[in-house]
């Protein structure tokens, strides 16, 4: 088989992605996302994005990858596992989402993507491309759905029938053709566990629609107000940063497996902190615990606000 054939290139890229530690990789054709653009507009019109005003920006780029990369033909869609069976040792301590136990995933995965892009260029020659991980106007979930990485579940997260949903999404948009994968079926069926379990009723009663302004992850990370709205008092289920409830109850996550990323392992004793330790957290300890962590996004003031709200 010729080294420049579409099939050879597609097979090589998929094999290399797995070698680099990605959980899965699929390909989608780069094109304007008409249906997704309409859905995004409706979601924004309902103000379900809350204070995430950045979701309104760069609408054309967000829905058309050819606006991001000149001559774009393909979107390489990737997932990266962060699931762990590790839990905080004090059951009464304020809770932190699994994805934030270790080093900031943006830094970890971007390093992988940079290496991946470099190796593709060394093998097949130069090309136009950009890579992304949750930090640019890219509809990552929709590309994951289009490529067949998983289906969009009733909790609005991508679910893989073999790998669950505890994974990050990333993309490389490139200006060459690949063998494209197809979307897969939705296997949520009649299950409503995520809808029933959400304490703030952020998920629509029919599923597949999220009012992000009610989501605990939004309230503890994206909301920048001095106080969390009082209406959510006693609904936070002790989450101080992020929330895993709708994933924890999802039956498909019985297929999640322990990640193998050393950078996602907590090395600073975070999981051993007691409820008292968190209540007495000062800024110096915050900076020590969360150096290089995604939790730095809330700053000390934000995390302290969340902990205080849980104690009110």
Q: Identify the CA nearest to 84 among candidates 273, 225, 257, 263.
A: 257
Instruction: State whether residue 58 is helix, strand or coil.
Output: coil
Do residues 174 and 27 make contact, with C-beta atoms less than 8 angstroms apart? no
Read off the tokens for 197.
């379990």
Query: DSSP letters along 118-132, please?
Result: HHHHHHH----EEEE
Structure tokens at 97: 């989402």
Catalytic residue from among 11, 90, 134, 186: 134
Let me know if 134 is a catalytic residue: yes
C-alpha span between 294 and 206 (Å, rounded): 32
Listed as own residue / partner, the contacts of 194-200 with beta carbons closer than 8 Å and 24 or more positions apart are 194/153, 194/154, 194/155, 194/245, 194/246, 194/249, 194/250, 195/154, 195/155, 196/249, 197/245, 197/246, 197/248, 197/249, 198/155, 198/245, 198/246, 199/235, 199/236, 199/237, 199/245, 200/232, 200/235
How far apart CA 240 and CA 238 sit, in angstroms, is 6
Please give the positions annotated as active site.
134
């Amino acid at each position: 088989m010729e080294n420049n054939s579409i099939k050879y290139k597609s097979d090589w890229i998929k094999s290399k992605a797995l070698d680099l530690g990605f959980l899965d990789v699929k390909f989608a054709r780069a094109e304007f996302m008409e249906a997704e653009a309409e859905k995004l507009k409706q979601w924004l019109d309902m103000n379900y994005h809350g204070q995430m005003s950045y979701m309104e920006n760069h609408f054309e780029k967000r829905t058309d990858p050819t606006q991001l990369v000149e001559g774009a033909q393909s979107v390489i869609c990737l997932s990266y596992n962060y699931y762990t069976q590790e839990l905080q040792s004090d059951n009464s301590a304020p809770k932190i989402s699994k994805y934030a136990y270790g080093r900031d995933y943006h830094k970890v995965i971007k390093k992988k993507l940079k290496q991946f892009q470099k190796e593709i260029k060394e093998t097949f020659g130069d090309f136009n491309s950009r890579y992304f991980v949750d930090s640019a106007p890219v509809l990552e979930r929709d590309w994951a759905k289009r490529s067949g990485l998983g289906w969009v579940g009733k909790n609005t997260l991508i679910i893989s029938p073999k790998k669950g949903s505890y994974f990050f999404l990333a993309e490389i948009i490139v200006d060459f053709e690949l063998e494209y994968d197809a979307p897969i079926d939705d296997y949520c069926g009649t299950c409503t566990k995520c809808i029933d379990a959400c304490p703030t009723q952020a998920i629509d009663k029919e599923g597949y629609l999220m009012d992000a302004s009610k989501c605990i992850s939004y309230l503890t990370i994206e909301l920048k107000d001095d106080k969390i709205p009082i209406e959510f008092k006693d609904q936070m289920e002790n989450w101080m940063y992020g929330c895993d409830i709708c994933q924890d109850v999802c039956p498909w996550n019985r297929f999640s497996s322990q990640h193998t990323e050393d950078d996602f392992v907590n090395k600073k004793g975070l999981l051993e902190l007691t409820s008292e330790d968190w209540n007495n957290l000062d800024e110096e300890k915050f900076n020590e615990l969360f150096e290089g962590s995604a939790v730095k996004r809330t700053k000390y003031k934000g995390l302290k606000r969340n902990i205080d709200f849980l104690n009110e």
